[in-house]
Amino acid sequence: MSGMSVGFVGLGAMGRGMAGSLVRAGHRVRVWNRSPEPVRELVAGGATAADGPADVFACDVVVSMLANDDAVEGLLLDPELLAAARASVHVNMATISVELAERAAALHAEHGVGYVAAPVLGRPEVAAAGELNILVAGEAALLERVSPLLTAMGRRTWHFGDRPVLANTAKISANFLLACAIESLAEACSLAEANGVRPTDLVEMLVGTLFPGPVYSGYGSMVAERRYEPAGFRLPLGLKDVNLALTAGAAANVPLPFGSVLRDAFLDALAHGDGDKDWAAVAAVSRRRAGLPA
């Protein structure tokens, strides 16, 4: 189904690269964003500007990449919008709460619009290259219909079942683990530095032995070098995801002891003015606890 008519909502750091991948794949992409500059960029690359969410939902398929529950609910879960939609399916690629995921699926079904959850793993540069890992769940027929779009945006699609909420649960769990990895890297680097070992040397050894792969190499170098800008994933979004995990855990009676530590560390970082930095800047909290220089 190449050349599909696609409405795209949310052109932030991730969304603009994802929409660009759809344009390059030959789809007819109609874009909308609350701030106009990303729209102008995409239009210059071959997209069309939409007049608003209703215009987006006039396309065959809607893809959205918004920041949080409030943005998704405020912009896209309007019953009037869904009742008037011509789109056959909405692919929601945001990281949202389990509760909202369930409610969004029910509301779309009520108004006859298909609904697929497809949150992603990857930073903005990965999105721009069309190399995301996409975690997807929804009805099989809907997944088949949107598979060309997912292929254009990602290097691999991971299937989690026919209930959209399952993809959101998997994404929350993955981001919780990422936050734990960043915190453990920060603590290990602080321990090493306080005892005379250069954090960069420690991370080089860890990546070459115990922990190969993008998480420890990417975030490890950021932590060891204290390199938190430019922000690929802003610190407040990290706090949001930790809170999503804590809320999902409480609802299912799953204790997440590390989650409480992470939440307080992120709040500490925000209180010290690091809100515009990458979420790896939570490592500065570990340094302060250890009495190491900022």
Tens-digit pLDDT profile for residues 214-269: 999 999 999 999 999 999 999 999 999 999 999 999 999 999 999 999 999 999 99
Paired residues of 117 in beta bridges: 92, 137
With respect to residue 261, please indicate whether it lies within any of the assigned structural domains.
yes
Stated pTM of the model? 0.95
Residues 10 and 141 in one domain: yes
With respect to residue 94, please indicate whether it lies within any of the assigned structural domains.
yes
Expressed in angstroms, the distance from the first to the final Cα of the chain is: 53
* Residues assigned a catalytic role: 171
Residues 19 and 147 in one domain: yes
- In the three-class reduction of DSSP (H, G, I as helix; E, B as strand; rest coil), residue 113 is classed as coil
Give the DSSP H or E segment for 284: helix 283-289
CATH number where 208 lies: 1.10.1040.10
User: pLDDT (tens digit, 9 = 90+) per residue, 68-96?
Assistant: 999 999 999 999 999 999 999 999 999 99
What is the C-alpha separation between 114 and 91, in angstroms, rounded?
8
Whether residue 137 contacts residue 119, with contact meaning beta carbons closer than 8 Å, is answered with no
Residues 125 and 216 in one domain: no
Total count of residues recorded for the chain: 294
What residues in the chain have per-residue pLDDT under 70? 1-2
With respect to residue 245, please indicate whether it lies within any of the assigned structural domains.
yes
With respect to residue 294, please indicate whether it lies within any of the assigned structural domains.
no
Whether residue 4 contacts residue 27, with contact meaning beta carbons closer than 8 Å, is answered with yes
Residues 119 and 175 in one domain: no
Residues 80 and 216 in one domain: no
Residues 277 and 195 in one domain: yes
Residues 44 and 110 in one domain: yes
Full domain range(s) for residue 223? 169-289
Residues 147 and 174 in one domain: no
Within 10 Å of residue 194's Cβ, how many Cβ atoms?
A: 12
